[in-house]
């Protein structure tokens, strides 16, 4: 079984040869069809090799994009999660593959330290090292196994390495922590999986809006912020903190069924760079992810409510990600004076901090009174109250019941409150 199956157009033999030589020099086993004899059962040989290879490297050129055979091999690799597209010359990639992350080697001249070449090596190594099923089970992930072609650019306080987001791809193992630039949010890759959204009727703090429980499938891995977005990160992306004319701790219409905490006000947005940014409206949060996406070339977004609860639970079924009770050794809530720097408490099993308490977090779902219309694939609910969004996690002034994994709140999307911040998600494709 080869590490790499090379798909190319015969007219690009010299181009393919450069790639093959380079990959073999790096220690990968490579199969390509230059050694097939006329007597070989062509179709059978190709089917055997492409099926057994851990990655299918497709070399896109103005000639290969018109090859039915190359396109067929690309579809085969894509359908099985092992396609690695590489643009070798300037060309229009077939529409079916335009949204795929693609390694850009049109200007590569053999430099083994070239950043795009290293991206290719990293991607192939990820695929070669991933055992089927291991990256798809919601469990205590810990730090992902190191990739020899992916260097750490920093580390979390717990010691987990942070890698350059440019070397993260659709096959990078779950558990990997990364960032897409200096002072940008640290992200963690979460596995695909399934969970039960909402709370059971046995939960004494359950409200009607937390049901009916529904099985949600998260179909592909995605990345979630290790922390809520910090003041320093917001300033780095947006240039300045938002201007707040009026501050309120608990926006009206936040959630029926829970007792409103005492109102608390603040004169301005907290400027401590290490704490989560607050007084952020949903519109502010959307502007942030749009600016961040444009600056990095990556698809950032506000997570859906289902993605948020999946990330919070991290495979757990209790009231909180660590059990059925919570106290001051686990989260910031109730009598706290305001948000604090995240990371003071243990992370959940996915390696995410402060999913309970500190600040409430926006999700992209319109507010809806039950899960009857919630999509089953983890995408946000597009039907609901036109000006209100779902807020999750509970905050520094909230009661323990509001910090539960299933607890739901709502807020007008234009409101800015001292208890509301946000966390971001990112696609890996």
Residue 295's pLDDT is what?
96
End-to-end CA distance of the chain: 26
How many Å apart are CA 104 and CA 109, to the nearest integer? 12
Region 287-310 average pLDDT: 97
The answer as to CATH 3.90.1580.10 being correct for domain 187-426 is yes
Edge-first strand order for the sheet with 408-412 is 408-412, 385-392, 360-367, 420-421
- Does residue 140 have a pLDDT over 60? no
127 closest CA partner among 88, 80, 76: 80
> What order of strands is seen across the sheet that includes strand 177-179?
152-155, 161-164, 177-179, 187-190, 222-225, 425-426, 300-301
Range from 77-81, 151-155, 246-250, 363-367 carrying the lowest mean pLDDT: 246-250
A 10 A CB-CB count for 235 gives 15
Given a cut of 70, whether residue 241 has pLDDT beyond it is yes
pTM across the whole model: 0.89
CATH architecture of 4-129: 3-Layer(aba) Sandwich (3.40)
How far is 42 from 311, CA to CA, in rounded Å? 46
Task: Give the chain's count of helices (H) and strands (E).
Answer: 7, 18
CA distance 361 to 303: 10
Pair of tokens at residue 190: 């979460």
Q: Which of 196-200, 262-266, 283-287, 323-327 has the lowest mean pLDDT?
A: 262-266
Query: Could you give the angle at the alpha carbon of 253 between the alpha carbons of 252 and 254, nearest 5°?
Result: 90
Residue 142 in tokens: 């810990």
- Between 66-80, 161-175, 327-341, 344-358, the lowest mean confidence (pLDDT) is in 327-341
Q: Which helix (H) or strand (E) holds 103?
A: strand 103-104
The pLDDT of residue 113 is above 50 = yes
Domain coordinates of the chain in residue numbers? Answer: 4-129, 187-426
Half-sphere exposure for 161 (CA within 13 Å, toward CB): 12
Tell me: pLDDT of 132 over 60. Answer: no
């Amino acid at each position: 079984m080869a590490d790499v199956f090379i798909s190319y157009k015969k007219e690009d033999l010299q181009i393919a040869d450069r790639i093959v030589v380079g990959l073999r020099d790096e220690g990968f086993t490579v199969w390509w069809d230059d050694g097939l004899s006329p007597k070989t059962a062509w179709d059978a040989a190709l089917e055997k090799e492409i099926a057994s290879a851990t990655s299918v490297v497709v070399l896109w050129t103005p000639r290969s994009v018109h090859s039915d055979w190359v396109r067929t091999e690309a579809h085969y690799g894509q359908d099985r999660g092992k396609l690695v597209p590489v643009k070798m010359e300037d060309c229009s990639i077939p529409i079916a593959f335009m949204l795929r992350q693609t390694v850009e080697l049109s200007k590569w001249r053999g430099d083994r330290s070239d950043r795009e070449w290293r991206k290719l090596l990293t991607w192939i190594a990820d695929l070669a090292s991933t055992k089927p099923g291991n990256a798809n089970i919601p469990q205590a992930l810990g730090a992902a196994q190191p990739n020899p072609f992916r260097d750490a650019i920093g580390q979390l306080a717990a010691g987990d390495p942070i890698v350059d987001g440019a070397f993260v791809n659709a096959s990078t193992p779950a558990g990997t922590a990364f960032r897409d630039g200096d002072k940008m949010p640290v992200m963690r890759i979460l596995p695909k999986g399934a969970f039960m959204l909402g709370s059971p009727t046995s939960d004494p703090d359950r409200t009607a809006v937390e049901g009916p429980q529904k099985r949600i499938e998260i179909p592909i891995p995605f990345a979630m912020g290790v922390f809520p977005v910090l003041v320093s990160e917001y300033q780095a992306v947006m240039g300045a903190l938002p201007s707040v004319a009026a501050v309120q701790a608990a926006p009206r219409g936040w959630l029926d069924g829970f007792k409103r905490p005492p109102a608390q006000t603040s004169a301005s947005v907290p400027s401590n760079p290490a704490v989560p940014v607050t007084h952020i409206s949903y519109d502010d949060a959307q502007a942030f992810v749009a600016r961040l996406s444009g600056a990095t070339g990556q698809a950032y977004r506000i997570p859906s409510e289902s993605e948020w609860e999946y990330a919070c639970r991290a495979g757990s079924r209790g009231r909180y990600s660590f059990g059925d009770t919570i106290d001051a050794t686990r989260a910031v809530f109730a009598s706290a004076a305001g948000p604090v720097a995240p990371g003071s408490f243990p992370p959940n099993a996915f390696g995410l901090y402060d999913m309970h308490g500190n600040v409430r977090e926006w999700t992209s779902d319109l507010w809806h009174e039950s899960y009857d219309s919630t999509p089953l694939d983890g995408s946000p609910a597009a039907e609901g109250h036109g000006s209100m969004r779902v807020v999750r996690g509970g905050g520094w002034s909230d009661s323990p019941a509001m910090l539960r994994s299933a607890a739901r709140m709502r807020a007008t999307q234009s409101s800015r409150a001292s208890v509301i911040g946000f966390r971001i998600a990112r696609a890996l494709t």
